[in-house]
Amino acid sequence: MAKPDFQQRSCVPWQTFTSEKRGHGRNMLTVGRLVCHSERYKLCLRAFVATTETNLYLSYGSKVPDTTLCESGAVRVLGLGCGAGEFDSIMFKKLLQRHSSVYNRVVEGSGEMIEKYKALVQEDRSFSAVECDWRQQTMEEYFHGQTKEDTKFHLVHAAHVLYHVDDLHDTLRNMWEQLTDDGYMLVIMETDTNDVWKLRETFFEEFGQGDRLKTSYRTSSDVKQWLDTRGISYNISEYEINIKVAECFKEGSEAGMMILDFLTQTPHVASDPEMRTKALEFIRHNSFEVEGTVLLKQIGEVIFASKKSAKM
């Protein structure tokens, strides 16, 4: 795989940072906090998904273990931050190979995403034996309203959403408490060994402020550390995604700016020359080329933890 040959280009700024400044006139509090700018985040996410060479949901959905979650009756599933249900559809295809029916409680903060999920349920035969219980709430709102007597679940899952919860450790604890005594927790996050994470790590060291875990800069290692300290055993499997990044180097490209924002999880990176230069230098040195396409690799992990194995 050949290294791409880039030329440094300037970019027309989208927006000038204001608010708290340090040194070069940038707002340090925005680094790693793209999700706080909800409309920008949605645009950047769409731009990012368009850069991937494979179906994201299939990439990690295929890694869900084939496990019998309960011996009789409907398997109870709690999905957190389910979006439009694409991952759930892949997962239920596997679950229904071993179980006759599924009770599926969907916790999703976006009404727009819930409506898309409902439309998918009507179209996708994978949901024919699935009873959906819709909860338009953030994870924090949902867990705040739960008691020890509430429904317990055979499976609780969170796919690429724990980057954005208020408190990662509290959320993991709440997820664990929602499980039956022999239940499973499934978490999907990027690793700290892939190029996209290394870009974010470099960005936070250079421009960040405060506690990394208070930003979106979180990885599967943070989850595994939480499990390890509690004596909880788990299985992991990796998947890889190649991201097309040539657009980031095109002068004035709005798509390129949004991809750069998503890769760094920082809004309007192109507005800060030093930030943009740092990000593009990293991409230039860590990307590779396949048949004329410039790619950056992202690696994720599916973590599958069993409550039965816990020493807590």
Which phi and psi angles does 247 have, rounded to 5°? -60, -30
Structure tokens at 202: 């470099």
pLDDT tens string 32-61: 999 989 899 999 999 998 998 666 676 666
DSSP state letter for 163: T
From 284, 209, 300, 262, select the one nearest 6 (Cα to Cα): 284
| Each residue's pLDDT expressed in tens, for the chain with a length of 312 residues | 444 443 333 332 323 333 333 334 455 568 999 998 989 999 999 999 899 866 667 666 666 766 777 777 789 999 999 999 988 998 898 888 888 999 999 999 999 999 999 999 999 888 889 999 999 999 999 999 887 778 899 999 999 999 999 999 999 999 999 999 999 999 999 999 999 999 999 999 999 888 999 999 999 999 999 999 999 999 999 988 999 999 999 999 999 999 999 999 999 999 999 999 999 999 999 999 999 999 999 999 999 999 986 655
Give the pTM: 0.85
Q: Centre a 10 Å sphere on the Cβ of residue 143 and count the other Cβ atoms it contains.
A: 19
Q: Exposed, middle or buried, 304 (CB in 10 Å: 0-12/13-18/19+)?
A: buried
**Apex CA 231: angle with CA 226 and CA 236, to 5°?**
65
Q: Centre a 10 Å sphere on the Cβ of residue 243 and count the other Cβ atoms it contains.
A: 22
From 282, 80, 276, select the one nearest 197 (Cα to Cα): 282
